[in-house]
Chains A and B, each alone.
Chain A
Amino acid sequence: MLSRIAESLFWIGRYVERADDTARLLDVHVQILLEDPWAEEDLACRSLLSVMDRPVPPDHVEVGREHVLDVLGYDRFSPSSIAGALVAARENARRAREIVSTELWECLNASWNQLPSQMRPARPHDYFTWVRERAAIVTGIMESTTSRDETWHFLVLGRAIERADMTARLLTTRALLGSAGPGWSTLLRSCGAHEAFLRTYRGTASDERAAGFLLLDRLFPRSIVYALNEAEASLTALEPVADRAGIDDARRHIGHVRSNLEYRPLLEILDDLPREMELVQRACSAASDAIRGRYFPSGAELTWVGEAL
């Protein structure tokens, strides 16, 4: 497979997952601000922007939910907003049009076409629901029409890395806002994990277990550890023959941060959650770079990478 195509596939996986996760994150955030009369809107919005790596306006400017929605929801030009991610996913699919199945392409293209009419509804919740549904359709089509060859592994690899990264960011918002932020059950709901969590632990739910569920659960597909495992599995499938010693960079980053989470007492991780989550995000970023270096080398783009970072 051409490196360029593989790269597009990898990024389709990432962008679609990013749109999905950002929609979930914003949904929780907006819901809290609406329902909670004690919420400190300015502070909550600032910390969300900083977690999502968006520029935070100067201190004297009041930051409200409209601003956050504009920046993270409706900005078509930044791939770290929902709209931008959908646009970028479609662009990438266009570049890999001959590899991507027609159904998948049509789905991404339809999302792109519908985007202007879906943006800025009366209830932001409707927009988020739409985004989640589109992402679910993409996943479903991927699942049922993609051969389990490299195409599949690159798509899944992108999705898994993005999911680990975004779940880490979601947990950071909770840690940063403390008790002013969303409760654990809200976070679980936003990941679609609440009912799975209840079935696992029944009534004996506690904050600790909820955090553990999103961080460490080996069976729930949105937990960080599950996503990291999935990324590792894809990497192994892409390159099964391992050296007798040593391991390639991408797998090293991911495996390292995964075992860092898995082989430590939960309480220790929770004590400094923002820091731990930052490690996860950095590892995802480093793994992404390593994957690019290994599978998508291209002279022209390397200079771009150098400038961007």
Chain B
Amino acid sequence: MADLFDDYPAGAAWDEMIGTDGEAQPAYRHVHSALAQLSAGELRARADTLARSYLKQGVTFDFAGEERPFPLDVVPRVLAGDEWEHVAPGVSQRVRALEAFLADVYGPQKAVADGVVPRSVIVSSTHFHRAARGVEPPNGVRVHVSGIDLVRDSLGGWRVLEDNVRVPSGVSYVLSNRRAMAQTFPELFATLRIRPVVDYSRRLLAALMAAAPAGVDDPTVVVLTPGVYNSAYFEHTLLARTMGVELVEGRDLYVAGGRVWMRTTQGRRRVDVIYRRVDDEFLDPVVFRSDSLLGCPGLMTCARLGTVTLANAVGNGVADDKLLYTYVPDLIRYYLGEDPVLPNVDTWRLEDPGALEEVLDRLPELVVKPVDGSGGKGLVVGPRATRAELDELRGRLREDPRGWIAQPVVQLSTVPTLVEDGLRPRHVDLRPFAVNDGDSVYVLPGGLTRVALPEGQLVVNSSQGGGSKDTWVLGGRVPRRAPGSGQSAPQTVPKDASVPIDSNPSDRRVQVMQQQQTLADGGTTC
């Protein structure tokens, strides 16, 4: 019998599901056999169900003026439990190191004095804000939420591609992907123990509450959104809704008497913690861009006074600068005294002696990224660029070596993905999300897997035609239910104790008549 994987090509890159021998990898065995039982038509039908459920829920993005469902692939990505036990501590280690680094940068700058990071790297970063110096986060947390982008080129071969500690987005897709997949593949969820992700909102709220200014008993948390036209607006509403907090825009807030207030029908209400999804530059027109309509004048003053907590903190961008990225393994050793669990991708700093020449020489085989970009903006993949593009790039690198880094092309792993011709290998990356509540760093099991839909494409960003996959981490070590929690044994109601369900007495006669009629009908046709 022909199955869906019969003509699955062995790609150039390492495939996570199908090994070189054509057998499914252990973690995928179940998913593989379940998918192999489906016909191509059935798989398409399920994919349609997914798309329709997204249209209905409004999980869409704007494509040339038309609302398209957010692309969620029908084939999940599966990670074995023990693999996750390697990734999660690595992510949390990285977050802890960046947290320590930020506290240092906006404080004593010991790392500079000790020669770990050059001062020039810090002060030349576009996201280093002097205004953030002296803003002391109440529980010491600056990176409440982070997304660490990972890639892998083999089993266990995980590497960090970049850090996002400003306003990482995408977690809403993790939550909604999971819901949609659970409705589409109930049978897989029934047999596999997939670690749940629903906890995220609760954890996030707990972390935000823990970050409240000292002395506030019942903190008011809000989510600050730029507004309905923001591409991540869906995420902002989902987070506010599932946390049960207000979703505010800049114009809903004002500052008076050194505190932040929101305008409500009941008069003003104090705001203690702002989970802001507005970039630093737009947050406070007094300190940053004076033409910003998205922020609220005076926020930074309140943050400095300690009457409001901004999450994530202002000025975090210095830690996810791509040049600083090259120093992170050193920072981990310096601050934590640990060896990095997850290595970096090899990177050239163009300001190092000789590096610029080497990079200019080998430009056609390298990937070059601007240091302050995100979302694949300005990135150039050498092997895919035209000669003219490369020449233009050479000029820009010479002009501003601080502004760029260069990396070898990483062969991202592939996962089978449903495209026009059926299941085909497509490159993926992974963005796990971490929440820091001051005591520990919680890493959401799985994360957002982004997939590059055009064949051979290595840039997986959703703003560049990328899709997503639900990411399943197997092996729930944590029991889903606390055993022996009181009334655990199911009981049935004693028969005489069940309360009858009433019906209109005058209906009963009708029923009897109906039943008699149907009986009579049956009799005549026989």
Residues of chain A having any CB pair with chain B under 8 Å:
4, 7-8, 11, 14, 18, 34-38, 40, 43-44, 46-47, 50-53, 56, 77, 79-80, 88, 91-92, 95, 123, 125, 165, 172, 175-181, 195, 197-203, 205, 274, 278, 281-282, 285, 288, 292, 301, 304-305, 308-309
Contact = CB atoms under 8 A, between A and B. Distances in A.
Interface in B476-526: 480-482, 485-493, 495, 497-511, 514-515
Contacts of A305: 505
Given A35-B190, A36-B190, A52-B501, A203 B244 contact: yes
Contact of B493 (A80, A165, A274): A274
13 contacts: A7-B506, A34-B190, A37-B190, A47-B492, A56-B495, A79-B507, A88-B504, A95-B506, A123-B183, A125-B183, A178-B488, A198-B244, A200-B244
A278 B499 contact: yes
Interface in B159-190: 182-183, 186-187, 189-190
Nearest to B192: A37
B266 interface: no
Q: Choose among B186, B500, B505 the residue with the greatest number of A CB atoms under 10 Å from its CB.
A: B505
Contact of B490 (A178, A282, A292, A309): A178
Contacts of A125: 183
B509 A304 contact: yes
A34 B241 CA distance: 26
Given A35-B182, A50-B498, A178-B491, 14 more contacts: A34-B190, A40-B490, A47-B492, A51-B493, A52-B498, A79-B503, A95-B506, A123-B183, A177-B490, A178-B487, A181-B490, A195-B244, A308-B508, A309-B500
Contacts, number: 132
A179 B493 contact: no
B502 to A, nearest CB: 5
The 8 A-B residue pairs with the shortest CB-CB distance in the complex, in nearest-first order: A198-B244, A203-B205, A281-B499, A79-B503, A34-B186, A80-B501, A11-B504, A50-B493
A231 B244 CA distance: 30
Given A35-B189, A46-B492, A91-B510, A179 B485 contact: yes
B244 A201 contact: yes
B202 interface: yes
B242 interface: yes
Nearest to A302: B505
Residue of A47, A199, A203 most packed against chain B (CB within 10 A) = A203
Contact of B243 (A7, A202, A274): A202
A274 B201 CA distance: 32
B120 interface: no
A91 B495 CA distance: 30
Contacts of A37: 190-191, 193
Nearest to B49: A123
B84 to A, nearest CB: 20
A44 B491 CA distance: 9
B209 interface: yes
Contacts of B193: 37
B264 to A, nearest CB: 14
A99 B190 CA distance: 50
B488 A179 contact: yes
B123 interface: no
A180 B499 contact: no
B355 interface: no
A201 B493 CA distance: 32
A95 to B, nearest CB: 8
Given A35-B189, A178-B487, A281-B499, A92 B504 contact: yes
A120 to B, nearest CB: 17
Interface in B239-285: 241-245
Contacts of B485: 179
Contacts of A281: 499
Given A7-B504, A7-B506, A44 B511 contact: no
Contacts of B481: 179
Given A37-B191, A203-B202, A43 B503 contact: no
B206 interface: yes
Contacts of A195: 241, 244
Nearest to A36: B190
A288 B502 contact: yes
Given A278-B497, A282-B499, A301-B506, A176 B490 contact: yes
Most buried by A among B190, B191, B498, B511: B498
Contacts of B497: 278
Contacts of A52: 498, 501
Nearest to B504: A11
A176 B492 contact: yes
Contacts of B498: 50-53
A53 B499 contact: yes
Nearest to B482: A179
A56 B482 CA distance: 30
Nearest to A280: B499
A11 B487 contact: no
Nearest to B518: A77
B275 to A, nearest CB: 12
B490 A43 contact: yes
Contact of B507 (A88, A175, A180, A278): A88
Contact of A199 (B244, B506, B509): B244
Contacts of B502: 14, 285, 288
Nearest to B245: A202
A181 B500 CA distance: 22
A199 B205 CA distance: 13
